[in-house]
């Protein structure tokens, strides 16, 4: 009953989440020449660098899929994942005045950062559409399942974001450690190169939920995949568990936020 009441209370703050997300977006791009165009800079820049390396210096076999498209379709959701985690980690500490002086559901803070990361994701998705049009790639028959993949990714990101936001109040160096973890995590996932499906490295697809999520995006949009792999279902179960567990942990620590902020 308490959980249901807390969820209803959180839903009542949906407008505040949107307002805080809009404030974050405006402050991020205020006084910049390109404005929201900077949401394209990092994924496009990384795509160009990795295309140079893995198409000319150390060529990779990506089958019939042009490498720029292969790389970008991994970088796009990865940047969403990284944006959710880094934004969530700082969400409570950046708004310590609100946390200590005003009562509201504290989940609003990390959730607003999730919404602002989704804004960047939507902007950067236009480049993927342009790349697929340029290379004359028609989305696969399973493309209608892409929203399901996005929901699983968001569940994983939100659950982990709630954990790191609370942890960063306990130990401020969490946000710095997280930057290193994200960099290492990127190269341990199928972001810019395919990971083998057999052999020792194949276990990564089972223990790293990001890998089957990225593979699902590629398989549904670029290949003939019409369903999900067993690894993806494991990732979905982990994401759902992390979402519930992260929220419960966040609520348990919330009573200490005032003194920690």
**Smallest Cα–Cα separation from 89: which of 72, 60, 62, 110?**
110
Report yes or no: 166 and 174 within 8 Å, Cβ to Cβ: no
Classify residue 63 as left (phi > 0), alpha (psi -120 to 50) or beta.
left
Considering only residues 61 and 238, tell me which one the structure prediction assigns the higher pLDDT.
238
pTM for the predicted model, two decimal places: 0.93
Mean pLDDT to the nearest integer, 179-185: 94
Q: Which domain holds residue 18?
A: 2-260
Burial class (CB in 10 A: 0-12, 13-18, 19+), 58: exposed
Span 54-71, mean pLDDT? 87
Q: What is the mean pLDDT of residues 125-147?
A: 95
Tokens of residue 88, six digits:
């969530």
Contact present, 213 and 149 (Cβ < 8 Å): yes
Does residue 166 contact residue 255 with C-beta atoms inside 8 Å?
no
For the chain, what is the domain count?
1
Q: What is the pLDDT of residues 211-258, one digit of tens each?
A: 999 999 999 999 888 999 999 999 999 999 999 999 999 988 887 776
* pLDDT for res 30: 81
- Rounded Cα gap, residues 103 and 111, in angstroms: 16
**pLDDT at residue 35, as a whole number:** 75
Model confidence at 7: pLDDT above 80: yes
Give the Cα separation of 144 and 124 in Å (integer). 19
pLDDT at residue 220 in the model: 96
SS (H, E, C) the chain: CHHHHHHHHHHHCHHHHHHHHHHHHHHHHCCCCCHHHHHHHHHHHHHHHHHHHHHHHCCCCCCCCCHHHHHHHHHHHHHHHHHHHHHHHHHHHHCHHHHHHCCCCCCHHHHHHHHHHHHHHHHHHHHHHHHHHHCCCCCCCCHHHHHHHHHHHHHHHHHHHHHHHHHHHHCCCHHHHHHHHHHHHHHCCCCCCCCCCCCHHHHHHHHCCHHHHHHHHHHHHHCCCCCCCHHHHHHHHHHHHHHHHHHHHHHHHHHHHHHHC
Buried b (16+ CB within 10 A) or exposed e, 174-203: bbeebeeeeeebbeebbbbbbbeeeeeeee
pLDDT score at 260 = 57
pLDDT of residue 259: 60
- For residue 156, report the phi and psi dihedrals to the nearest 5 degrees: -65, -45
Query: Please, which residues have CB within 8 angstroms of residue 18's CB and are 6 or more apart in sequence?
Result: 112, 115
């Amino acid at each position: 009953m308490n959980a249901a009441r807390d969820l209803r209370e959180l839903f009542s703050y949906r407008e505040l989440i949107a307002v805080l997300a809009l404030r974050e977006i405006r402050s991020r791009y205020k006084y910049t020449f390109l404005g929201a165009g900077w949401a394209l800079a990092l994924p496009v820049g990384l795509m160009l660098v990795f295309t140079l390396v893995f198409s000319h210096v150390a060529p990779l076999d990506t089958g019939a899929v042009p490498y720029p498209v292969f790389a970008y379709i991994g970088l796009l959701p990865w940047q969403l994942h990284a944006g959710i985690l880094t934004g969530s980690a700082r969400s409570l500490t950046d708004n310590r005045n609100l946390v200590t002086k005003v009562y509201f559901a504290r989940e609003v803070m990390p959730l607003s950062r999730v919404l602002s990361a989704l804004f960047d994701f939507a902007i950067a998705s236009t480049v993927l559409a342009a790349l697929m049009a340029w290379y004359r790639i028609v989305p696969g028959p399973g493309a209608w399942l892409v929203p399901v993949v996005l929901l699983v990714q968001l569940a994983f990101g939100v659950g982990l974001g709630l954990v790191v936001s609370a942890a960063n109040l306990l130990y401020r160096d969490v946000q710095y450690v997280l930057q290193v973890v994200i960099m290492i995590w990127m190269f341990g996932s199928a972001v810019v190169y395919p990971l083998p499906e057999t052999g020792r490295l194949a276990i990564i697809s089972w223990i790293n939920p990001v890998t089957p999520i990225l593979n699902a995006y590629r398989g549904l949009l670029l290949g003939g995949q019409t369903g999900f792999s067993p690894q993806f279902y494991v990732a979905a179960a982990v994401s759902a568990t992390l979402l519930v567990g992260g929220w419960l942990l966040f609520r348990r620590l919330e009573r200490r936020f005032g003194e920690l902020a």
